[in-house]
Amino acid sequence: MRIVVCIKQVPDIAEMEKMETDPETGNIIREGLPAILNPFDEYAMEEAVSWKERNGDEVIAVTMGPPQAEDALIKCLSMGADQAILLSDRQFAGSDTIATTWTLAGAIRKIGDVDLVLCGQQAIDGDTAQVGPMLAENLHIPQITYVSRLVLEGKYITTTREVEDGYEVVRCKLPALVTVVKGINIPRVPTYNSLSEAMDKEIPVWGAEDLDIEKDRLGLPGSPTAVTRVWTPESRSQGQVLRGEPSELAKQLAEVLLNPLQN
Ligand SMILES: Cc1cc2nc3c(=O)[nH]c(=O)nc-3n(C[C@H](O)[C@H](O)[C@H](O)COP(=O)(O)OP(=O)(O)OC[C@H]3O[C@@H](n4cnc5c(N)ncnc54)[C@H](O)[C@@H]3O)c2cc1C
């Protein structure tokens, strides 16, 4: 079985306060920001490599991003991916979620014979959770989102997905796309040896010319989404803290609730 895991390099959440957006385009200014493998994609990668260890599956990590996204792919290789592919080209710059999806779909078609595509539930920077579902649509395969348990049985998968008021068990024929939630597993921490082996592996870089996609589907020309405004919401007032004896507090609280505008 061939499993493709779509992973994204994102700014390190611990450094989020240093993050700024371009006032004209509304895009995150990524230069100089420390970057990590999107945490949800780490769960997807762990899921794929743990199935590989049991069944001998082939695991391929794919990302679309700038050249430095290679670091996230090295982490995937160190976790146990067999191969990693970087989709990087100036023509991909400015991609919104639709153009990102076309690019990833083009790469998955080029890889060929893919049984299972795994994604994280969302990226912690863009946060739209659109890429997984749109990718499944683009590839014309079924999708199962928000999966917290995954079992591969021959040409079928049985999943448990998290829904608002509980869980749903969904069984589906492969090929399919699954997006995973935090907690589906505990991602392994790469060892020094696995990291140094990963750093020696060659990571092919595919550009627009390598993918069979019309050029107007890619990058900025293929991105109908426009960020019209980005702003920081005003912080709320701190609220009012009532202190004292419970009987006195109850009276004070009643007064605040009955006359909210005066307090
Ligand atoms: C007009 C516009 C211009 C933009 N220009 C840029 C730009 O120049 N550079 C830039 O970095 N971003 C840019 N973005 C942001 C970019 O579109 C999104 O980050 C990207 O499409 C993924 O969306 P998301 O982050 O919401 O991912 P989600 O949909 O939340 O991600 C879900 C899952 O999809 C997979 N995934 C998401 N992105 C990728 C990827 N790139 N490679 C592999 N798998 C992935 C992962 O498994 C992830 O867990 C732009 C956005 C807009 C609207």
**Residue pointed to by tokens 């959440």:** 13
Kindly state whether residue 259 falls inside one of the protein's structural domains: no
* 194 burial level (CB within 10 Å; 0-12, 13-18, 19+): middle
- Res 263: pLDDT: 54
128 Cβ below 6 A of ligand 1: yes
Distances (CA, A) of 211 to 6, 105, 114: 16, 9, 16
pLDDT over 90 percentage in the chain: 77
Nearest-atom number in ligand 1 for the CA of 98 is 21
Examine the pLDDT at 118 and tell me if it is beyond 60: yes
Residue 76 above 70 pLDDT? Answer: yes
Question: Of 23, 31, 32, 34, which is closest to residue 232 (Cα–Cα)?
Answer: 23
Higher pLDDT, 4 or 256: 4
Average of per-residue pLDDT across 35-47: 97
The region of weakest confidence among 16-20, 66-70, 235-239 is 16-20
Evaluate: CB of 91 within 6 angstroms of ligand 1. Answer: no
Sheet holding 83-87, edge to edge: 166-173, 156-163, 143-153, 176-180, 116-120, 2-6, 58-64, 83-87, 205-206
Helix residue ranges, H only, 156-258: 192-200, 246-258
User: Rounded mean pLDDT of 97-124?
Assistant: 98
Amino acid 38: pLDDT: 97
pLDDT score, position 261: 66
Q: Is residue 98 part of a domain?
A: yes
Q: Given this model, what pLDDT does residue 87 score?
A: 98
Please tell me whether residue 87 adopts helix, strand or coil conformation.
strand
pLDDT score of 33 more than 90: no
Pocket of ligand 1 contains residue 120 by CB under 6 Å: yes
Could you tell me if the CB of 84 is within 6 A of ligand 1?
no
Task: State the Cα torsion 53-56-57-59 to the nearest 10°.
Answer: 60
pLDDT in tens, 174-199: 999 999 999 999 999 999 999 999 99
- Residue 228 pLDDT level (bands cut at 50, 70, 90): confident
Residue 30 pLDDT grade (very low, low, confident, very high; cuts 50, 70, 90): confident
Amino acid, single-letter form, for residue 65: G
Q: Does residue 35 have its Cβ closer than 6 Å to ligand 1?
A: no
Domain around 23: 2-222
Looking at mean pLDDT, say which of 12-26, 174-188, 228-242 comes out highest.
174-188
For position 233, what pLDDT does the model report? 80
Q: Domain for residue 233, yes or no?
A: no
175 lines ligand 1 (CB under 6 A): no
Residue 238 lies in a domain: no
Single pTM value for the model: 0.88
In a domain, 227, yes or no: no
Residue identifier of the C-alpha nearest atom 15 of ligand 1: 96
Instruction: Look up the CATH number of the domain holding residue 139.
Output: 3.40.50.620
Show the tokens assigned to 109. Answer: 């078609």
Q: Is residue 262 part of a domain?
A: no
Q: What is the mean pLDDT of the chain?
A: 93
In a domain, 155, yes or no: yes
Total domains present in the chain: 1
Task: Tell the residue number behind the tokens 């895991």, with chain if given.
Answer: 5
Residue 254 domain flag:
no
Choose the residue to mutate in 4, 5, 8, 143 for probing ligand 1, maximizing ligand atoms within 8 Å of C-beta: 8
Rounded distance between C-alpha atoms, residue 220 and residue 223, angstroms:
5
